[in-house]
């Protein structure tokens, strides 16, 4: 169990699985730059970020719901949690909003699964499914929280803690995903295989 002071943002799992260096730049070096993709994501989240609740027949919808897992060491918010009325009571069903469309990598699914694990810990029940809503296709993709995804999520959470505790920024290595990364200009993966951006900035600003 992680103490409250050691909890890390749940959203960092997505950064970690996309690129460990990006994750360290954001969560160790505290760097952030907005680009078209992050701005589109922000706009897509505007409604859900306002919070609040809505009632539908047999479903209670909660926006921007606070989440926490001491087992995983994560804290954050779910865009939407629908509570579906079932025989055993109200069962949470997380829905995460994403820009673009369904991706090959598991990072969106892992983030959603981490939300489900938080909800399981908070409500002491089992959650078997949730959904990813993609802004480009305007469709929901159902995600099953099977053993493989749960295990991948737990490993990612542990790995996130190890990376942040190490305070080490992995070296830059260019890959196709860099072209969508808002930190590309700071990271310079094609020309600057430096580890720490902060260290590099200190170096170049020396008289």
Binding region for ligand SF4 (CB under 6 A): 19, 21-22, 25, 172-173, 177-178, 181, 183-184, 187, 189
Residue 163 C-beta: closest distance to ligand SF4, Å: 13
> What is the H or E stretch that residue 8 is in?
strand 8-9
- Using DSSP, state whether 87 is helix, strand or coil: coil
Supply 10's token pair. 């749940």
> What is the H or E stretch that residue 198 is in?
helix 197-204
Q: Are strands 89-98 and 52-56 parallel, antiparallel or unpaired?
A: unpaired
Of the pair 25, 114, the CB lying nearest ligand SF4 is at 25
Backbone angles phi, psi at 80, to 5 degrees: -140, 135
Q: Which residue has the tokens 């080490």?
A: 168
Residue 190 C-beta: closest distance to ligand SF4, Å: 9
List, in sequence order, every residue forming a beta bridge with 143; answer none if it has no partner.
130
In three-state form (DSSP H/G/I as H, E/B as E, the rest C), the secondary structure along 67-79 is: EEECCCCEEEEEE
Contact 72, 117 (CB under 8 A): yes
Residue 14 C-beta: closest distance to ligand SF4, Å: 12
Residue 171 C-beta: closest distance to ligand SF4, Å: 9
DSSP 90: E
Give the span between the Cα atoms of 111 and 41, in whole angstroms. Answer: 15
């Amino acid at each position: 169990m992680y103490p409250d002071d050691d909890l890390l943002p749940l959203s960092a799992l997505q950064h970690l699985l996309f690129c460990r260096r990006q994750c360290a730049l954001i969560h160790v070096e505290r760097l952030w730059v907005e680009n078209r993709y992050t701005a589109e994501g922000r706009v897509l989240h505007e409604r859900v970020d306002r919070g609040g609740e809505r009632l539908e027949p047999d479903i209670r919808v909660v926006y921007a719901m606070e989440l926490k897992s001491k087992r995983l060491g994560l804290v954050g918010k779910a865009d939407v949690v629908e509570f579906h009325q079932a025989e055993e009571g109200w069962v949470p069903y997380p829905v995460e909003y994403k820009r673009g469309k369904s991706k090959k990598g598991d990072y969106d699914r892992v983030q959603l699964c981490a939300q489900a694990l938080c909800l399981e810990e908070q409500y002491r029940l089992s959650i078997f499914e949730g959904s990813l809503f993609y802004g480009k296709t305007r469709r929901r993709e159902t995600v099953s929280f099977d053993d493989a995804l749960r295990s991948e999520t737990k490993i990612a959470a542990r790995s996130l803690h190890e990376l942040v505790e190490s305070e080490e920024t992995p070296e830059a290595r260019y890959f196709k995903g860099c072209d969508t990364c808002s930190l590309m200009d700071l990271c310079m993966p094609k020309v600057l295989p430096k580890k720490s951006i902060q260290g590099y900035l200190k170096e170049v600003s020396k008289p």
